[in-house]
Structure 1
Amino acid sequence: MDGVVVPIVNFKGCMMPELCVENSVNYGTYKVVKNSVCCNGDLCNAQIPEYKSTPNGKKCFTCEGENCMKTLKCEGNENYCVTATRAQYGFRASRVNQFSTEQLSCCQGDYCNSASRAFTYLLLLLVPLLFSNLFS
């Protein structure tokens, strides 16, 4: 999202204190941020809360078109990677960091949301076995 101008929508009103949180979901091509500050006095919400998007060092995969191996640098409290699978035009499509109600999973650790992760581990197990059979 480097260099992308993002529209900011500010909201002021009344809400329950348990809904007063800071969170964000970064999809690579767009980001949704909820940065709220709660108070309990009359007209106490005059200030607009400042949002700081500081990189936190975490990295996840994201999709750009059909390429779902692009690096996404996480910011702030974005501590989990997301993988989603959804039905699209009559077939199932796997997407990284795109919201879905059908199948959604979160994980911790850099690049943990790779679709090829299980395949990589399988290769790590099978290659030594293959070589041991060839040379025995």
Structure 2
Amino acid sequence: MHLIVLIFGIVLLPEAYPLKCYECLLGSSGTCTDTEVQCPSSSHQCGVLRIASYAGGTELVNVQGKSCALPDQCIEGSINYGIARTVITSKCCTSELCNTQPAPEPSKSSPNGKRCYHCDGQQCSATLNCAGNEDHCISATVTAGGAKAVLKGCASEQICLGIKNPQMKSFIEGEISCCQGDLCNSASSTSAGLLLLVAPLISLAMFS
């Protein structure tokens, strides 16, 4: 009897079809025009994304996007290089065309007690107070736009996991690593410009 019920249950279960979601490209104005797209597989959800970058108290970038996304692409995190901090907020949902609302604005973060090295001028021996959920230190030697630089700072765990994203690797040539523990990203020389600090995070966070 139980076997018959199980067979009927399998036969009558609805087939898992890919969702339709709204899609729009990130724009410098922070807005985009929605179009409907079919997700590539039933594993994808509908997602919204916001990337905001700051230097001091000045907002450098605040862009938004919508698309199909895998669950592990729906991240909340930040990366802080001292002179610039980038915050990523996103949200995923699992019903047809459910990604109508924009991703939430970044919330204000307070220092969390963790410290990492960051680059200040030509040296990377200055210390930085991490904030919010930045629980890792990050180090990078990258080449982008023909310029090579060293980046150091604080990062959230989800940002560190996202470093393995193929989009990130295709955008940046170089070594990027994260570690846990105060000041674990040892000091070194040479620092980066603002473009190198912001652009890789936009590439990292974009939904594929």
1:15 corresponds to: 68
1:103 has 2:157 as partner: no
Q: TM-score when scaled to structure 2?
A: 0.44
Q: For 1:63, what is the secondary structure of its paired residue? A: strand
CA contact (8 A) 1:38 1:45 kept: no
Confirm or deny that 1:37 pairs with 2:91. Answer: yes
Alignment correspondent of 2:117: 61
Mind listing any 5+ residue stretches in structure 2 that lack a counterpart?
1-53, 154-162, 164-171, 189-208
Deviation at 1:72, TM superposition (A): 1.3
Q: Normalising by the residue count of structure 1, what TM-score does the alignment of the two structures yield?
A: 0.63
1:109, 1:103 → 2: CA distance?
20
Partner of 1:6: 59
Match of 1:76 in 2: 132
Give, in angstroms, the shift of residue 38 of structure 1. 1.9
Q: For residue 116 of structure 2, give the secondary structure of its aligned residue in structure 1.
A: strand
CA-to-aligned-CA distance 1:76-133 (integer Å, 9 cap, x gap): 221111122357xxxx875534x963233221111111237xxxxxxxxxxxxxxxxx
User: Share of identical aligned residues, percent?
Assistant: 39
Tell me the SS of whatever aligns to 2:68. Answer: coil
Residue of structure 2 equivalent to 1:46: 101
Contact between 1:25 and 1:32, CA under 8 Å: does it hold in 2?
yes
CA distance in 1, matches of 2:125, 2:101: 43
Alpha-carbon contact 1:39-1:45 (below 8 Å) kept: no
Divergent runs of 4+, >6 A: none
> What amino acid does structure 2 have at the position aligned with 1:67?
Q
1:43, CA displacement in angstroms? 5.2
Quick one: structure 1 residues 105 and 50, their matched pair in 2 at CA, closer, same or farther if it must change by over 3 Å? same
Structure 1: runs of 5+ lacking an equivalent: 117-136
**CA distance 1:5–1:84, shift in 2 (3 Å):** same
Secondary structure of the structure 2 residue equivalent to 1:71: strand
Q: What's the counterpart of residue 129 of structure 1? A: none
Q: 1:24: how far off? A: 1.6
